[in-house]
């Protein structure tokens, strides 16, 4: 589906280290100097899902294809970026293109890693980036307000309503708040949809802590959690360096031993990737056959014909019916044939809203 999550943060907070850990298609350079990342790195990331492994175990296909999302490693931002400082304009343009934000914040002390912002302060670091994004959004909203205000003279009630929404958004940004906290209705959001506002994008925070704090967190990660409580945002505590080391181990036994040493049942990255997937309001359905077991990504709330379109547009155009088996039923009975015999295979039409984990087969005619 081409949906992207962008990794952002101040310079030298561990963004590229995190990207290296999650990416399977590219490796970002991680170095100890400002603007190490200039052009954004893009990598495809498998979404960890035990369900596809279980289906593959039952079906024994020729291949297994997990679902993926794109992760973008964006250049570090500095104060003044909204006015073009550092790589400001480029940085902000790159953020505008992604669908969600993974905000990495340094929550550890290390005198060997450069830091120009003074003492470690995750709340202040968050505020620096928030302020720059808000300033850029204010600029965008103000320009549209000026255009819209001129059109109010036509007497069009829709234009007047749009202007009122813009004023509300502007006042919220001016007070130092992010648009995603405003709680606009779906109808009101249409007034700003064409602006692709930076602070409207959903965000997930990564508290990059030291090894000693990777399970418990520390005073810095706790301060960050308190600071973002009003946003209803998730904070994931992890050590990005450890995660990169785990990702670089190719042998499964070596990886298991390494995680056992750090008392980990799975990489924290798995939780991060799943949380990012959920942040984008995505879900998964499966197709299962001897040739392949595959996971497909769709938006929450999609109906069966839309879900079929991600396999091929012809599937949506010629959609007739969908054969659907709930994942738990498939596992319980062990095969499609057994589910059919037990009456667990359902025939659904165009109005069926696909559920996360459905195992599906589409009937179509073109």
255 annotated as belonging to a binding site for a ligand = no
Q: Angle 333-334-337 (CA atoms, 0-180°, nearest 5)?
A: 80
Strand bridging mode 4-8 / 100-106: parallel
- The answer to whether 240 is a known ligand-binding residue is no
Ranges of beta strands (E only) in 194-272 are: 203-208, 235-238
Residue 179, annotated ligand binder? no
Residue 271 assigned ligand-binding role = no
Binding residue per annotation — 16? yes
- Token pair belonging to 308: 């079929």
Strands 100-106 and 203-208: parallel
Is 131 labeled as ligand-binding?
Answer: no
Residues 6+ apart with CB under 8 A from 15: 7, 8, 9, 37, 73, 74, 76, 104
Beta strands in the chain (DSSP E): 4-8, 41-46, 63-65, 68-73, 100-106, 203-208, 235-238, 282-288, 292-299, 319-325, 346-348, 359-364
The pair of three-digit structure tokens given for residue 67, joined into one six-digit string: 């679902």
- Neighbour count for residue 183 (Cβ, 10 Å): 8
Annotated binding site for ATP: 12-17
Annotated binding site: 12-17
């Amino acid at each position: 589906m081409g949906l992207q999550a962008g990794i952002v943060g101040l310079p030298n907070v561990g963004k590229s280290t995190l990207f290296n850990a999650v990416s399977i298609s590219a490796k970002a350079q991680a170095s100890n100097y400002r603007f190490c990342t200039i052009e954004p790195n893009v990598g495809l990331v498998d979404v960890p899902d035990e369900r596809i492994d279980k289906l593959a175990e039952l079906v024994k296909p020729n291949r297994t294809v997990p679902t993926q999302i794109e992760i973008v490693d964006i250049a570090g931002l500095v104060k003044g970026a909204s006015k073009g400082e550092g790589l400001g304009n480029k940085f902000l343009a790159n953020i505008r293109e992604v669908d969600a934000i993974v905000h990495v914040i340094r929550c550890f002390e290390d005198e060997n890693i450069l830091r120009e912002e003074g003492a470690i302060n995750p709340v202040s670091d968050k505020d620096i980036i928030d302020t720059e994004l808000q300033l850029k959004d204010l600029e965008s909203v103000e320009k549209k307000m000026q255009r819209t205000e001129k059109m109010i003279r036509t007497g069009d009630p829709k234009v007047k309503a749009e202007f009122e929404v813009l004023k509300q958004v502007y006042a919220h940004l001016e007070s130092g708040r992010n648009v995603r906290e405003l709680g606009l209705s779906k109808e009101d959001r249409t007034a700003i949809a064409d602006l692709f506002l930076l602070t409207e994008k959903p965000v997930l925070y990564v508290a990059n802590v030291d090894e000693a704090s990777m399970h418990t967190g520390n005073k810095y990660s706790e301060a960050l959690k308190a600071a973002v409580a009003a946003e209803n945002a998730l904070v994931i505590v992890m050590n990005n360096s450890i995660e990169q080391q785990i990702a670089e181990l190719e042998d499964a036994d070596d990886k298991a031993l390494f995680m056992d040493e750090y008392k980990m049942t799975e990489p924290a990255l798995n939780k991060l990737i799943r949380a990012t997937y959920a942040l984008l309001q995505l879900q998964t359905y499966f197709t299962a056959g001897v040739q392949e077991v595959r996971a497909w990504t769709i938006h929450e709330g999609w109906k069966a014909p839309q879900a079929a379109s991600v396999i091929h547009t012809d599937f949506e155009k010629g959609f007739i019916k969908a054969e659907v088996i709930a994942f738990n039923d498939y596992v319980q009975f062990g095969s499609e044939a057994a589910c059919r015999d037990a009456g667990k295979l359902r025939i659904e039409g165009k109005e069926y809203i696909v559920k996360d984990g459905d195992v599906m087969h589409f009937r179509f005619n073109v």
